[in-house]
Amino acid sequence: MPHPEIFYKYTSADSTCKILESSRLKWSSPSLFNDISEFQIMPEFFPSLNESMSDYISIIIGLGFSNSILGTNKLSSNSSALLKLVKEAASMGIDKKLMHKKFSQKFVDYNLEMDLALREHVEKDINTARILCVTTSFDNDALWGNYSESHNGCVLGFRHLQNTPLLEAEPIIYSDKPTIIGTGLEFLLFGMNRNMLTLSHKAICFTKKSSWSYEKEWRAITWRLNEKTKLGFYLFFPDELESITLGVRTTIEYEKIIRELVKFKYFNTKIYRMQNQKGHLVRTLC
């Protein structure tokens, strides 16, 4: 999906003044977000790992009884270890049927094990993630109500310049279904490949429930391993700030402060105000 020319950040009037004074935006850990499902929706395999286990064991046993080594160099370390056990069992005269039964009895709930492993990894790193959430429009009624103090705040418009973080922003995928990253059999045989890793990253970091789709969110993510707090305030270039849109209820006092701050160093920033015209938000230059 192509990047929009302008990204918008909804915020309070007081935060707008602080942002203009410091030229810094707040990037937060998802553990601070208002959606408690952030980074909690894990990807899945289809067919699942458990559903694929019988076929997996049959394939490894088949390889163990075959003289061919074709493709065995691509097996995961776990598959290679199991193949070695199969060959040892075959050399002792154990037949395929008994071998399949014995190996099947030793395997645990792989679906649960994978989910727990992913969650443990995410929980370990979640507080090092720093996320900037933006959207694609300046006239979203719900966002004005939720994030801009019920129309008392502002919307900041940012153009993405070369070599700036907003160029890395990606759109949120809104879905109530789990992301499928591959087949369970493929993972069991060969382990996690690059495509699975990419899809897992998108599933965990860039997927939200469909009930949040009204936000039309894009987000940029960075990782700060050495920061002690769960948020950071990072610089942006004054030329990135394309516009400031005042809310219908933003006070004249705040407008005066914002104009003075813009005059100081945001030379290419336009100032707008929203108006309520017959129940519709209309933006005008002021």
Domain extent listing, the chain:
6-41+126-176+208-285, 51-108
pLDDT < 50: residue spans in the chain:
none
Residue listed under structure tokens 């942002």: 19
Q: How high is the pLDDT of residue 32? A: 95
pTM of the predicted model as reported, rounded to 2 decimal places: 0.91
Q: How high is the pLDDT of residue 1? A: 77
Q: How high is the pLDDT of residue 70? A: 67
Q: How high is the pLDDT of residue 100? A: 94
For 223, residues 6+ apart whose C-beta sits below 8 A from its C-beta are 125, 128, 129, 130
Burial class (CB in 10 A: 0-12, 13-18, 19+), 177: exposed
